[in-house]
């Protein structure tokens, strides 16, 4: 499940196999860099991020928003806030430079989201089940709704001594096959596909009939149009967007966290330890994950167009689309 990329191999890989990293992501692998492939802030700045953010936090995380160039979640003196703002914005720029260079086709037209600091120890953090990072889940509804677009996250462990520890129960295709019906996101197989093969761009995607559970009806489209129009004035409005796809993913996310028989099972459980100053990236809508231990991480999030996927048949959107609709109205 781990696709390891030594730092010294990265340039040659990018030059000769520009789809290698994104193919690994689409296949549900965690692309792991034992040595962080971008420059990190100097040690004094890392110490600042570790020590000055946590005590001044007023949300789950502190996040810098690309579209607004604003930091949210921090309540502190202006000099501290400005330093955090600069550090997160500069880190975000380095991550974007790396990923657009390493995956030029996959990142085309993406939407950069947030750069977050996770200053707290994840083990034993008393968050509600749906907000908890300690329970295995796939991500759903990032920034409101993705409509099938992909959630890419790039992580750096900036703890100077301790590993960040993840567990996974596998990727969406096998999780859906094993648990989709019980979770209420799978119905009967859909009618045969009409159209061309699904690998490639949106324009080559197949057409399905009225039973397609992720198909957006007139109300869905009108609602999203209104939200998008409003979000031009008030970007936070995006958070109320929704779609049939996002509701199914949210249902699965909640089922994974709420269902004792899944939550407490060790079936397929894999553990990953990410040492200090290592980095990794993953499609978090594809790969189930929980952070069970670790403190101090930087996390960058991007929404990648589904059309950029060339292994599109492995995406949650296409897997859900291949079913007749379950009751998707919740
Ligand atoms: Fe997550």
**What's the pLDDT tens digit per position in 313-322?**
999 999 999 9
Q: How far is the CA of 30 from the centre of ligand 1 (A)?
A: 13
Q: Name the CA radius of gyration of the chain, rounded.
A: 20
Report which of residues 194 and 66 the model is more confident about: 66
pLDDT tens for 248-291 read 999 999 999 999 999 999 999 999 999 999 999 999 999 999 99
Quote the Cα angle for 102-47-274, to 5°: 45
Please give the sequence-ordered ranges of beta strands (E in DSSP) within the chain, or none if there are none. Answer: 2-4, 30-33, 62-65, 70-72, 111-118, 150-157, 164-168, 270-274, 279-283, 290-293, 297-304
CA-to-CA distance for 125 and 68, rounded, in angstroms? 29
Structure tokens at 62: 């502190």
Distance 327 CA to ligand 1 centre (A): 25
In the predicted structure, residue 203 carries a pLDDT above the cut 70: no
- C-beta separation of 116 from 298 below 8 A: yes
Ligand 1 centroid distance, CA of 186 (Å): 22
289 Cα: distance to centroid of ligand 1 (angstroms) = 6
Ligand 1 centroid to residue 41 C-alpha, Å: 25
Query: Beta strand 297-304 with 70-72: parallel, antiparallel or unpaired?
Result: unpaired
The predicted structure's pLDDT at residue 330: 43
Distance, CA of 81 to CA of 255 (rounded, Å): 37
What is the Å distance from ligand 1's center to 139 Cα? Answer: 5
- Work out the burial of residue 54: count CB atoms within 10 Å of its CB; fewer than 13 is exposed, 13-18 middle, 19 or more buried: middle
DSSP 82-122: HHHHHHHHHHHHHHHHHHHHH-TTTTTT-EEEEEEEE-S--
Kindly give the distance from the C-alpha atom of residue 283 to the centroid of ligand 1, in angstroms, as a whole number: 10
- Please tell me the distance between residue 284's alpha carbon and the centre of ligand 1 in angstroms: 6
Secondary structure class of 33 (helix, strand, coil): strand
Mean of pLDDT values over 87-95: 98
pLDDT band, very low/low/confident/very high, at 7 (cuts 50, 70, 90):
very high
Nearest by Cα to 311 from 97, 12, 15, 105:
105
- Residue scoring higher pLDDT (231 or 115): 115
User: In order of start, what are the domains of the chain with their CATH numbers?
Assistant: 2-321 (2.60.120)
Residue 302 has pLDDT above 70, yes or no: yes
Between the CA of 3 and the centroid of ligand 1 the distance, in Å, is 19
When the pLDDT of each residue in the chain is averaged and rounded to a whole number, the result is 89
Q: Give strand pairing partners of 320.
A: none
CA distance 310 to 18: 13
Q: In the structure encoding, which two tokens stand for residue 114, read together?
A: 């947030």
Distance 138 CA to ligand 1 centre (A): 6
């Amino acid at each position: 499940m781990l696709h390891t990329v030594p730092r010294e191999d990265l340039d040659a890989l990018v030059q000769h196999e520009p789809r290698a990293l994104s193919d690994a992501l689409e296949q549900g692998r965690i692309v792991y860099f034992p040595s962080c492939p971008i420059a990190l802030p100097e040690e004094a700045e890392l110490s600042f991020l570790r020590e000055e953010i946590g005590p001044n936090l007023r949300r789950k995380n502190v996040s810098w928003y690309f579209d607004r160039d604003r930091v949210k979640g921090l309540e502190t003196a202006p000099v501290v806030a400005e330093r955090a703002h600069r550090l997160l914005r500069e880190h975000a720029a380095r991550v974007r430079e790396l990923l657009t260079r390493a995956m030029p086709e996959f990142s085309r037209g993406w939407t950069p989201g947030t750069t977050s600091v996770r200053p707290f120890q994840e083990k034993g953090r008393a968050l509600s089940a749906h907000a908890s990072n300690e329970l295995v889940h796939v991500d759903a509804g990032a920034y409101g709704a993705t409509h099938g677009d992909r959630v890419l996250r790039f992580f750096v462990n900036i703890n100077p001594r301790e590993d960040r520890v993840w567990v996974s129960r596998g990727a969406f295709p096998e999780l859906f096959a094993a648990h989709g019906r019980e979770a209420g996101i799978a119905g009967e197989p859909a009618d045969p596909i009409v159209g061309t093969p699904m690998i490639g761009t949106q324009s080559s995607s197949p057409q399905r009939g009225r039973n397609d559970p992720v198909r957006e009806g007139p109300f869905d489209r009108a609602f999203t149009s209104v939200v998008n129009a409003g979000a031009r004035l008030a970007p936070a409005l995006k958070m109320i967007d929704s779609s049939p796809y996002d509701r199914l993913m949210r249902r699965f996310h909640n089922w994974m966290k709420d269902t004792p028989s899944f939550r407490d099972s060790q079936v397929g459980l894999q553990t990953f330890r990410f040492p200090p100053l290592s980095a990794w990236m993953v499609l978090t809508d594809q790969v189930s994950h929980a952070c069970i231990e670790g403190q101090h991480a930087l996390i960058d999030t991007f929404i990648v167009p589904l059309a950029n996927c060339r292994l599109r048949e492995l995406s949650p959107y296409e897997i859900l689309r291949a079913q007749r609709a379950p009751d998707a109205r919740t």
